[in-house]
Structure 1
Amino acid sequence: MPAHRHRRRRRAPAPSSLPRGPPLPATPDPRSVVHQILADYRQMAARHHAALKDHCDIEGVMDGEFDAYEETRRVTALEADEKLDTFIQLLTDAFGLPDDRPVTVLGADGVEFQVTPSRLDETARTAFTEGQCHALARAVAESTGWKTVVLADRECADEYDACGMGNAVADGLCICQLSHLAAVRPHDGYLVDADGAHDPQDVLGEGRFDIVPMSPALWKLIDTHPTWRDADMPVARSMVGPLLDSLGALPTCTPVKVAA
């Protein structure tokens, strides 16, 4: 399995917490979700309007300090961005993703893939090996309870003056060494990713990678470092069923001993 360098968007600092409506039930009624979103949006929009009007005269022309006005605009824009993320997550949880049309999945280096949820075609396989392998590995683990591993380069690129990642290290591994994530099928030790199931002995035979168990520290490093793309969990979860169905019966291999 080839290595892939992942990219993730830097998230703006979260604005201060704001009052919210009553919590939604675990399986919310879609109509209730939409009504809650409408109420939350109107509350936010009213506050933003009032905050910006404080910088304007009676005719709506800005008459205060420009820097203060721009700071208010920045803060309100950050909150609106965070709210949009929350609204989309609520809608996704309530309605699910469409399975009759593609949605955009962000891969490595800003590449965009048009992936139809629940359809494990060539585009989906590429998206979930070139930027979103960590999302699929995590989704498979959630569904099956299988362990996850990372294919780690045996040497940090810093030895070649190419890393520059500073102290981005977990479990003795630099962020630049983390190349590809997979789930481990327990009965035979095969590594499962979007391209199928792979004999770990073949991976080790290349002499380039160690197979390292994922730990909370490694997950935290991946989830927070800007060189890794935000995990697209909704689409990844939709691919677990088709992926497991596609595996079929494979010959067993000698269980591999992962690196300590």
Structure 2
Amino acid sequence: MTATADLGTPEIHHQHRDVTGGWLRPATFGVVDGLVSNFALVAGVVGGGAGAHAVVLTGLAGLTAGACSMATGEFVSVSSQNELAQAEIARERRELATNPQEELRELTLAYEAKGVRPELAAEIARELTADPEVAWRVHVREELGVDPDDLPSGWTAAASSFAAFALGALVPLLPFFFGASTLAAALIASSAALIVTGGLTARLTARSEWFGASRQLVLGGLSAAVTFGVGLLVGTGVS
């Protein structure tokens, strides 16, 4: 390695993935929820003795209702979280304007709590507080644990959950579109999808793919078994 290289720009050894973009959680939850809930719904109506036409109609209704519900819930929850964050950010900015010395002391104590020497902590706090635009952002990150410039998007969460739920909920219905009349084909398709989604999710989160796939399959299978049993009991009782 040359001297130029030694004195040059430091090497970047790795890059972190985006963990705050607001899409992974609703997308993962949406596809799993759509797959499990609609397969359980299909299993329930099949267990109750419904024909293929009724199964498809019920499944499409479950897909539409579930996707809309997921999108609405994600949008409202993320938007409400952002509104709360914005309210606390506004409060922090007011406190910085009306009581700057107390806020400076709070920031100094925060750095001291992280192990910085008191004199150095005070100096760092003064430097960061010199620019008002930097000051409120630093206080928000330190006191609220929120990055004000990277708040999750309600629209992103809603769109991700809607598309993911619809995609997952479509899987158990596909065999019935092609003429299936029993639950076997839907069971195979849904099981394969649970394994794939579990494995992919585990890969994204740096977990064992076998663990993620088996966990997804077991939990989804239990949900479907319970719903099938309820449908079977209700169908028998009604008939």
> Is the TM-score greater than 0.5?
no
Indicate the structure with greater strand content: 1
Query: Normalization by structure 1: what TM-score?
Result: 0.22
Q: Which has the higher contact order (CA 8 A, sep 6+)?
A: 2
Please identify the structure whose Cα radius of gyration is greater.
Answer: 2
Structure with greater helix share of residues = 2
Q: TM (normalized to structure 2)?
A: 0.23
